[in-house]
Amino acid sequence: MNVLQVYGPGAKLRGEVVVPGDKSISHRAVILGALAEGATTVSGFLTAEDCVKTARACQQMGVAIEGLGGTDLLIDGVGLRGLGPPDKPLDLGNSATGMRLLMGVVAGQDFTATLTGDESLQRRPMDRIAEPLGKMGVEVVGQGQRCTAPVTVFGGIPQPITYHSPVASAQVKSAVLLAGLNAPGTTMVIEPAKSRDHTERMLAAFGAQVDVQGLQVSVQGQPNLRGREMVVPGDFSSAAFFLVAGLLVPDSEVTVRGVLLNPTRTALIEILQRMGADIQVSNEREVSGEPMGDITACHTHLTATEVDGDEIPRMLDEVPILALAATQAEGRTVIRDAGELRVKESDRLGTTTEILSAFGAQIEQRPDGLIIDGSTSLHAATVDSHHDHRIAMTAAVAGLIAEDRTIVQESECIRTSFPDFVDCLRDIGADIYAE
């Protein structure tokens, strides 16, 4: 899959979709399964490239993992300090989550490891991890002022700290907490706003002593983590593309089954409902410490809104697809406080503006956000994904409501999070093809 062809406006979208396992939880399940003692079983593991890279990195450090390549894994945990030195750099591909979390893991081991990745990942800043690890007494050496990859972590015994994170970032928080597992005392992270909380939920499930007080999260070092069964819910960020497609394509009704409903991830639902969207959540339940359920979206005429502040960390990955929805909403939608998107797989404020402008949208980027005027009829376009999976999928959904044929180039990046994206869209009626 290198080029997508999308034809619109086409037939209505109708049916049910099961999206792959949540990306964030899949990364963490493998890592904590590796650090636990005994067997951990993971069902619903995301088989996309990013999560597989994290699992292979754990294998390089001596962790036996059966079933890799499928959705059901058996991990033979080695304990908190049982990892071994890799015989070559850990290649995390395009996965910043994998790299940042494993930097925290290696910080607490008795060896040195180098972590690297593809060209895109080597441009992403790792100083936000290197700084708190340095405060814990762990030396980290990267490239340039932003400590980009390849980055070398000199493991040891981290010292417990209280870290005031300058950004609301689950990756920063998680790296510090994972390093804190091998610290002799309590490690605390204080954030400016609430970020996704999968790490603290999962640490507690594996047996760590975790305390959450508002924006403060602490872990007691040197716990006895025990292997367990983990079920990974469907990825909400992947579901978002189908929900917005259901809202925008006339006469559509799309249900996504078994989706993660963690409140640190689902601000998009609240925002779309504020815009008037017909979105219903049903069959809510809890699995492996995480809430999940089914979400149905029906075609709706939307009105503009403003998004900023504490909502942004809870829907950061969904900003591109929300911007597409805003092109079809009456009035001016303003998105602020999203400067973090400048350092994702692409500069997502810039690439979102570029691709939606190519479709004829009225969109303007600001240093920390976007302004979108709607509603606007979109026309077909030829766009480049900039090797960013969420940009590629946003462009594909835009093609469903644009006149004539849309071409999305460099679409192979979708494999990093959603290998069956095209097939799932076709199953509910989309006129989309991969070459």
Q: pLDDT tens digit string along 142-175?
A: 999 999 999 999 999 999 999 999 999 999 999 9
pLDDT at 188: 98
Give the residue from 200, 231, 262 where a domain finishes.
Answer: 231
One domain for residues 181 and 209: yes
Tokens of 205: 């499930």
Cβ distance 93 to 168 under 8 Å?
Answer: no
What are 415-428's pLDDT values in tens digits? Answer: 988 999 999 999 99
Dist. CA 406–CA 414, nearest whole Å:
17
Of 214, 231, 248, which residue constitutes the final position of a domain? Answer: 231
3-state SS class at 122: helix
- Same domain, yes or no, for 190 and 248? no
Give this prediction's pTM.
Answer: 0.90
Both tokens of 314, joined, read 């809870």
- Any idea what DSSP says for residue 238? H
**Are 265 and 190 within one domain?**
no
Same domain, 372 and 430: yes
pLDDT at residue number 11: 80
> Which CATH number covers residue 382?
3.65.10.10
Q: What is the pLDDT of residues 331-366, one digit of tens each?
A: 999 999 999 999 899 999 999 999 999 999 999 999
Which tokens sit at 405?
């044929």
Domain boundary among 184, 204, 231: 231
Residues 238 and 369 in one domain: yes
**What's residue 257's pLDDT?**
98
Backbone angles phi, psi at 33, to 5 degrees: -60, -35
* Total residue count of the chain as it appears in this document: 435
Instruction: Kindly tell me if the per-residue pLDDT of 90 is higher than 90.
Output: yes
Q: Is the distance from CB of 342 to CB of 365 less than 8 angstroms?
A: no
Residues forming beta bridges with residue 365, ordered by sequence position: 370
CA-CA distance, 355 to 347, in Å (whole number)? Answer: 12
Set 118, 197, 235, 317: catalytic member: 317
Q: List the structure tokens of 90.
A: 């850990």
- The verdict on 181 and 59 lying in the same domain is yes
Asked if residue 46 lies in contact with residue 89, where contact means CB atoms within 8 angstroms, the answer is no
| pLDDT confidence band for 435 (50 / 70 / 90) | confident
Q: For position 10, what pLDDT does the model report? A: 74
401 within 8 A of 361, measured Cβ to Cβ: no
* C-alpha to C-alpha distance for 125 and 143, rounded to whole angstroms: 9
Same domain assignment for residues 110 and 75: yes
Cβ pair 385, 362 in contact under 8 A:
no
pLDDT 10s digits, 139-150: 999 999 999 999
Is the alpha carbon torsion for 312, 315, 320, 321 positive or negative? negative
Verify that 146 and 266 share a domain, yes or no. Answer: no
Whole-number pLDDT of residue 1: 63
Note whether 187 and 117 are same-domain residues.
yes
Q: Are residues 191 and 328 in the same domain?
A: no
Told to judge if 317 belongs to the known catalytic residues of this protein, a careful annotator would answer: yes
How far apart CA 242 and CA 223 sit, in angstroms, is 41
Residue with tokens 């359920």: 293
Query: In the Cβ-directed half-sphere of 56, how many Cα atoms lie within 13 Å?
Result: 17
Domains in the chain, number: 2
Peptide bond into 150 cis (omega under 30): yes
Bridge partners for 73 per DSSP: 42
When mean pLDDT is compared across 5-9, 75-79, 208-212, the lowest value belongs to 5-9
Mean pLDDT computed over 213-229: 97
Identify the domain containing residue 108 by its residue range: 23-231
Verify that 102 and 125 share a domain, yes or no.
yes
The two most distant CA atoms of the chain are separated, in Å, by: 62
Report percent pLDDT > 70 for the chain.
100
Task: Decide if 33 contacts 77 (C-beta within 8 A).
Answer: yes
313 and 342 share a domain?
A: yes
Question: Over 90: is that where the pLDDT of 128 sits?
Answer: yes
